[in-house]
Chains A and B, each alone.
Chain A
């Protein structure tokens, strides 16, 4: 009987809840966990937004690649890149295009020299390197793509 009473008394004491220190420790530890969780949430949202923007740039670049590949041989492919940008609702200034053309290097190596065409314009042996950079004006996401153009 005495033992039972002692056990009951002890049980009552154990059910008294956590101490203030325990709670503080728990909150602190919880905080240590929750803060990164919120960070993850934040980065997920930001990352998702960035990914969406980047995918949009990629889609525009795919359009650029398609347009340049299908274009007739010429000496300036800037309009094709600008058209792709404008299709996405971006200004033409979102794109930068540079042109080079193939020149045989020493020992059969490949070199690229400035300009899409020689002085006389397009000729049948021309192989061109078109480098397009596209920047999403809203997010600043940028992609660069190199397309080699010939009559193949």
Chain B
């Protein structure tokens, strides 16, 4: 029997039967395994996708928040380095999930229509030379350089009025007396010296390489403010970033900061009375000097301070200390300054009229850039010094690396320029872009999650997120 079995087993029909069985079973098993595998993969993938999308969405939100951390910087950087089709890549927010943020400039708008602007440049001294050249921007008052020294007075206005000469009044007294020495920021912060608004009756000299920041507000100086050496000075909060994050940070943390800080609005206004003047002294050893004003913004409802809105430098005018009211010379007539709000003549004890008249040896604004240093002077607000001289001097061999821009309008006794001018030179009134609209796109590295925001940013750093949507 056994022999029969063994001899029968290898018959041709039985060969490979086990293989067939296995194949059939494998097919049956695959019907079970494949759907199960699919289910496991789907569940796993779904869980990961949910988790990652949350992370990616937060990363794109973070990108916009970081982009807006310094809106004034965004205003200038994205406003000048991008277009609607060519974006500026913004700094990465440095999170666990990487995200790329791009800024597109969508629109820009000027502060006011050009037709409603006051005259950009006015000189009050009879027969003074009107500015001219490619560097001049804006319109010149027709009375500039007139033989009649009183001619310009017939077309003035205390506020910005179309086709008039803007002659702003002085603000309420900056009452807090200050020493001429700035406050230090503590060691926790980067090196920085801080001034606070108030009344400065001693000369202020800024010459070291430690950056200096004037917090926003009104400063009254009766003695010269001198910028020299390697000074790096920012005046007021705005698109030019100071050495502290904000006015509030300076008020809170400056060592021995005054309890009455006097900070108002954004940007700052320098008011010069007595012998007060602004000097940029290029004769002191140094390699780089900068003085950057940020345009002053205050509420127009503030009757005490509104006259400083968009004004960077003012002089106190008149001769009330001598018993006269107006400054009256053969070639110069300037009405005495009045207080904003009340229109009353200034108290000569608190506000001393400027003694720096045209023709004298000391200009009220004296920018002297004769050596080879790098120098940047930027004054974007109005400069109203109708009984003073603005002098800008550059040597022939020293025009490179020099930037002087006074483009918020000028009312001055006279404007004296050296034959050689800074390489970048702009004087007059340029109708500036005050608000820009950006599209900020942030794309996470994973999961195709992105966010797009339309943001309006003003020059002074105020911003609004108009819309913000996510794709995921």
Contacts and interface: CB of A to CB of B under 8 A. Distances in A.
Interface of A: 10, 13-14, 16, 18-19, 22, 25-26, 29-30, 33-34, 36-37, 40-41, 43-44, 47-48, 51, 54-55, 58, 61-62, 65, 69, 102, 104, 108-112, 118-120, 123-125, 127, 129, 143-150, 152
Contact of A14 (B13, B29, B93): B13
A40 B61 contact: no
B61 A148 contact: yes
B260 interface: no
B32 interface: yes
Given A58-B54, A62-B54, A120 B253 contact: yes
Given A47-B43, A102-B69, A120 B252 contact: yes
A149 B54 contact: no
B117 to A, nearest CB: 32
Interface of B: 8-9, 11, 13-14, 17-18, 21-22, 25-26, 29, 32-33, 36-37, 39-40, 43-44, 46-47, 50-51, 54-55, 58-59, 61-62, 64-66, 68-70, 73, 91-97, 188, 245-246, 248-249, 252-253, 465
A99 to B, nearest CB: 14
Contact of B62 (A54, A104, A147): A147
Contact of A58 (B33, B47, B253): B47
Given A34-B29, A37-B29, A120-B253, A146 B62 contact: yes
Contacts of A152: 64-65, 68, 465
Contact of A16 (B8, B21, B22, B61): B8
Contacts of A124: 246, 248
Contact of A30 (B25, B32, B59, B65): B25
A118 to B, nearest CB: 8
Contacts of B47: 51, 54-55, 58
Contact of B43 (A13, A48, A149): A48
Contact of A145 (B18, B46, B58, B253): B58
Contacts of B188: 119
Contacts of A146: 55, 58-59, 62, 95-97
Given A26-B18, A43-B40, A147-B61, 14 more contacts: A10-B11, A18-B14, A26-B22, A29-B22, A30-B22, A37-B29, A40-B36, A62-B54, A110-B91, A119-B188, A119-B253, A123-B248, A123-B252, A148-B58
A101 to B, nearest CB: 10
9 contacts: A36-B33, A44-B36, A47-B40, A104-B245, A124-B246, A124-B248, A125-B248, A127-B66, A147-B58
Q: Which 8 A-B pairs have the closest CB atoms?
A: A148-B62, A150-B65, A29-B22, A120-B252, A51-B47, A25-B18, A110-B94, A51-B43
A29 B51 CA distance: 41
Given A30-B25, A44-B40, A123-B248, A54 B33 contact: no
Contacts of B70: 104
B49 to A, nearest CB: 10
B51 A143 contact: yes
Contacts of B54: 58, 61-62, 65, 145
A144 B70 CA distance: 28
B420 to A, nearest CB: 34
Nearest to B59: A146
B64 A111 contact: no
Contacts of B44: 47, 51
Nearest to B465: A152
Nearest to B249: A123
A47 B38 CA distance: 12
Nearest to B241: A104
A148 B11 contact: no
A14 B95 CA distance: 73
Most chain-A Cβ atoms within 10 A of its Cβ — which of B33, B36, B62?
Answer: B62
Contacts of B46: 51
Contacts of A29: 18, 21-22, 25
Contacts of A36: 33
A108 B91 contact: yes
Contacts of B36: 40-41, 44
A102 B66 contact: yes
A61 B416 CA distance: 67
Nearest to B28: A33
Contacts of A44: 36, 39-40
Nearest to B65: A150
Contacts of B58: 65, 145-148
Contacts of A109: 91-92, 94
B95 A148 contact: yes
A118 B253 CA distance: 10
B224 to A, nearest CB: 33
Given A22-B17, A40-B37, A152-B465, A110 B22 contact: no
A37 to B, nearest CB: 6
A37 B94 contact: no
Given A26-B18, A29-B18, A65-B54, A13 B11 contact: yes
B32 A37 contact: yes
A125 B33 contact: no
Contacts of B73: 108
A52 to B, nearest CB: 9
Nearest to B95: A146
A147 B61 CA distance: 8
A19 B9 contact: yes
A149 B39 contact: no
Contact of A150 (B11, B25, B69, B245): B69
